[in-house]
Amino acid sequence: EKGGYDHFMMKEMVEQPKAMMEALMSRCCENGASFAGLKLNAEMMKKINRIQIVACGTAYHAGMVGKYYFEKFARISVETEAASEYRYKNPIVDENTLLIVISQSGETADTLAAIRLAKERGAWVLAVTNVVGSSIAREADDVIYTNAGPEIAVASTKAYVTQVGCMMLLASFLGNLNGKMKKEDAARICHGLMMTPGLIDKALETQDVIKAFADKNYQISDLFYMGRGVDLYTSMEGSLKLKEISYIHSEAYAAGELKHGPIALIEDGTIVVAVCTQENVFEKMLSNIKEVKARGAHVLAIVQAGHEDIASEVDEVWVIPEMDDDITAIPTIVYLQLLAYYLAVARGCDVDKPKNLAKSVTVE
């Protein structure tokens, strides 16, 4: 049932190229995104004056990436919030609100409660979920299925990449509806998304390097991630994956925030993973790398091809293929999933069934 792999998590990471294809199929078109069966249309969008994205855990990180691209592509301001916070804070939500919820299982109690609250107040609820016929799919007004296939491992992998893909398509769809996204950008994003299955394959091919790094460093007690722009959310998701399955303490920070406090935690040999896939902030990341290096950090930088010369500034470099900066969130997380996986395996952890965690959190 694990398809010959040691763990469901590995099987599901390997299935990511196919999952992405299924998520993009028939939705990724030349002129932008299209979602067959979606009721939300230009007329309905005219009265929407607030968009909220609500989810938990990994799905919440997909929501952060979603917010980033809704703002970038459709120039719509979006709030992303953890469902457990949303439901108890008397949120500002009414009949002019579009609430987008993201949930792999479609059964998460807090996310379901957020839907019920928003619907009571007249909001239009669009669910992005992986499970057909789940409670969340049934209670939402509109559904986009991520089509990742069944996900068994507690640590979400293939569901995440498809959630991010769907959020990027949705951002492009809304940008098209409101005329804020240029045709050539919509075409560029679809073209870029169609490259992601191949790029994930390339990430999976680097397993030996990642495993070697993990085998050398598995005894660490802390690991820090830092990034700017969309790389921050990839860092947050990488950090969650690591905590979940390896029990290594880890944090993810906006790189510019380090000097406002967290840099105090950096000691001789502390590993810092610097995710540097965005050209517009590359130089800024370099400065942040220098700051942590000056405190003794052991820096692993993740850069796109063309930036190999960062090697002179850091201790280790993982070079990912050159790609459109707007799609890096999808292939880059695969390197961080593998890092979490191999560190957990080296520490002898039960990767598929981490302590204290359940696949689906159906109680508060």
Q: What is the DSSP letter of 353?
A: S
Using rule CB under 6 A, residue 154 touches ligand M6R? yes
In the complex with ligand M6R, which residue's Cβ is closer, 55 or 76?
Answer: 55
Give the nearest distance from C-beta 194 to ligand M6R in angstroms: 25
In the complex with ligand M6R, which residue's Cβ is closer, 157 or 278?
Answer: 157
Catalytic-role residue among 180, 284, 293, 359: 359
Residue nearest to ligand M6R (CB): 57
In the complex with ligand M6R, which residue's Cβ is closer, 289 or 361?
Answer: 361
Using rule CB under 6 A, residue 323 touches ligand M6R? no
In the complex with ligand M6R, which residue's Cβ is closer, 103 or 147?
Answer: 103
Give the nearest distance from C-beta 291 to ligand M6R in angstroms: 30
Instruction: For residue 127, give the nearest of 107, 149, 151 by alpha carbon.
Output: 107
Instruction: For residue 328, give the nearest of 303, 298, 353, 307 by alpha carbon.
Output: 303
Question: How far does the chain reach from its first CA to its final CA, in angstroms?
Answer: 31
Count each helix (H run) and each strand (E run) in the chain, helices first: 13, 12
In the complex with ligand M6R, which residue's Cβ is closer, 152 or 212?
Answer: 152
Give the nearest distance from C-beta 340 to ligand M6R in angstroms: 10
Alpha carbon of 90 to those of 49, 53, 87, 98: distances in Å? 18, 15, 7, 16
Give the nearest distance from C-beta 22 to ligand M6R in angstroms: 17
Q: H or E element: which one contains 227?
A: strand 222-227
Give the nearest distance from C-beta 230 to ligand M6R in angstroms: 19
Residue entry with tokens 């070697």: 212
Using rule CB under 6 A, residue 164 touches ligand M6R? no
- The structure tokens listed for 239 are 């950090």
15 in Cβ contact with 149 (< 8 Å) = yes
202 in Cβ contact with 250 (< 8 Å) = no
Residue entry with tokens 């796109």: 304
Which one among 16, 58, 84, 235 touches ligand M6R, defined by CB under 6 A?
Answer: 58
Amino acid at 340: A
In the complex with ligand M6R, which residue's Cβ is closer, 76 or 236?
Answer: 236
- The structure tokens listed for 208 are 């030996």
Which one among 51, 155, 297, 345 touches ligand M6R, defined by CB under 6 A?
Answer: 155
In the complex with ligand M6R, which residue's Cβ is closer, 148 or 286?
Answer: 148
Q: What is the DSSP letter of 97?
A: E
Instruction: For residue 359, give the nearest of 65, 165, 86, 157 by alpha carbon.
Output: 157
Give the nearest distance from C-beta 77 to ligand M6R in angstroms: 24
Which one among 57, 165, 175, 197 touches ligand M6R, defined by CB under 6 A?
Answer: 57
Q: Strand 97-103 and strand 50-55: pairing? A: parallel
Using rule CB under 6 A, residue 156 touches ligand M6R? yes
Using rule CB under 6 A, residue 63 touches ligand M6R? no
Using rule CB under 6 A, residue 134 touches ligand M6R? no
Site for ligand M6R in 93-112 (CB under 6 A): 103-105, 108, 111
- The structure tokens listed for 358 are 């359940």
Q: H or E element: which one contains 316?
A: strand 316-320
66 in Cβ contact with 167 (< 8 Å) = yes
Using rule CB under 6 A, residue 16 touches ligand M6R? no
Using rule CB under 6 A, residue 361 touches ligand M6R? yes
Question: Binders of ligand M6R: how many residues, by CB under 6 A?
Answer: 16
12 in Cβ contact with 161 (< 8 Å) = no
Using rule CB under 6 A, residue 56 touches ligand M6R? yes
Among the candidate windows 32-40, 298-306, 338-346, 356-364, which touches ligand M6R by CB under 6 A? 356-364
Q: Is 183 a catalytic residue?
A: no
∠ CA 360-201-212 to the nearest 5 degrees? Answer: 85
Active-site residues, by number, are 359
Task: Tell me which residues touch ligand M6R (CB under 6 A).
Answer: 56-59, 103-105, 108, 111, 154-156, 244, 357, 360-361
